Structure 1
C-alpha cells in the first residue's frame, strides 16, 4: 500500500491486549450492548434504534449523516433504522427551514415516551459499569475519554 508510516516502537504483543485502550473500549461497549440487547428485544428495539432514540433525546434536529456519527452507526444502517423508527411513529423528518433539501430528524411524542421507558435500563447498565469506582475516578475517566475523542475527531466526516 506504500504508506510511509513510522514503524511503531512496540508491537501489539509487547503492549498486550489488556493494556491496549482501543481493545478495552471495544470490549466494554460490546459487553454493555450485549447486556442491554435482551432487555431491548422485548421492546422491539435494536442497539441501533436505542442509540438513535438516545441521541435524538439529547440532540434533536440532526441530519442522517450527523446522527450516524453520534450513534456510531454506518449510514446505511442508520437509514434502515430511521425507516423502521419512522414507520413505528417514533421519529419524524422535517425539511430544514434554511434549506428544504436537508432533512432534520426529531423524536415524536411516542419516540420520547419510548426513550423515557428504555432509559432506566440503559442507566442501570451504565451504573453497573462504574460499580466500585468513586465519583472522582469516574469524572477523571470521562474527562480523559473526552480528550481522546477530541484527539481523534479530525478523522471524522
Structure 2
C-alpha cells in the first residue's frame, strides 16, 4: 500500500491504513466482547481496565488511561461500574494522599482469571491464519508503527478517541 498524491475525490477510505487498522481493531474487540460479555457482564472498556489493573495492580485511573490509550471519560465510567459491582476497590497511596490506586477484589480476580483464557484463545484463533514468520513480521511491524506514532507525537500519553 503506497500512498499516492491525487485529487481528494480519488481518496479510497477502504485502502487508508488508519481506517483499516480501526476496522480490524473494532471487529476484534466486538468479537471478543460477544464471547465474554454474556458470561461475565463486562463491557470492552471494563475488561480493558480489569486487564491492565490485573496485570500491573496499584494503578491510578490516570495510569489506566495512559496504559490503555482510552479516553479519560470512558475509563472513569468503567472504573465506576467496576467499583459498583465490587470487581475493583480503591486504595489510598501512602506517599500521596491525593492519589487513589485501583486493585482487583477477589471477585475481580475471578472475572479476570475467567476472561484471560478467552482472550488468549481469541488471539490464538486470529493468529492461526498466519504462518510463524508472518506472526513475527506482524509483531515487528506493529512495534515499528508504534514507534513511528510516538515519534510523530502520538505516544501512549496522547489523548483521543480509542
Provide TM-score, normalisation by structure 2: 0.79
Match for residue 59 of structure 1?
56
- Compared with structure 1, are the counterparts of its residues 123 and 46 closer, same or farther at alpha carbon in structure 2 (3 Å cutoff)? same
- Compared with structure 1, are the counterparts of its residues 115 and 13 closer, same or farther at alpha carbon in structure 2 (3 Å cutoff)? farther
Compute the RMSD of aligned alpha carbons.
Answer: 2.3
Find the partner of 2:30 among 34, 40, 48.
Answer: 34
Distance between the aligned counterparts of 2:9 and 2:132, measured in 1?
33
Distance between the aligned counterparts of 2:97 and 2:115, measured in 1?
33
Runs ≥4 residues deviating over 3 A: 11-19
Match for residue 4 of structure 1?
none
Does structure 2 conserve the Cα–Cα contact (< 8 Å) formed by 1:48 and 1:71?
Answer: no
Equivalent residues, number = 150
Question: 5+ residue gaps in structure 1?
Answer: 1-7
- Name the stretch that deviates more: 15-24 or 42-51: 15-24
Provide TM-score, normalisation by structure 1: 0.82
Distance between the aligned counterparts of 2:58 and 2:10, measured in 1?
45
Match for residue 10 of structure 1?
5
Aligned counterparts, 1:60-75, within 5 A: 60-75=57-72
Question: 5+ residue gaps in structure 2?
Answer: none
Does structure 2 conserve the Cα–Cα contact (< 8 Å) formed by 1:90 and 1:107?
Answer: yes
Distance between the aligned counterparts of 1:40 and 1:52, measured in 2?
15
The Cα offsets for residues 135-155 of structure 1, whole Å up to 9 and x where unpaired, read as 222122112212222222333
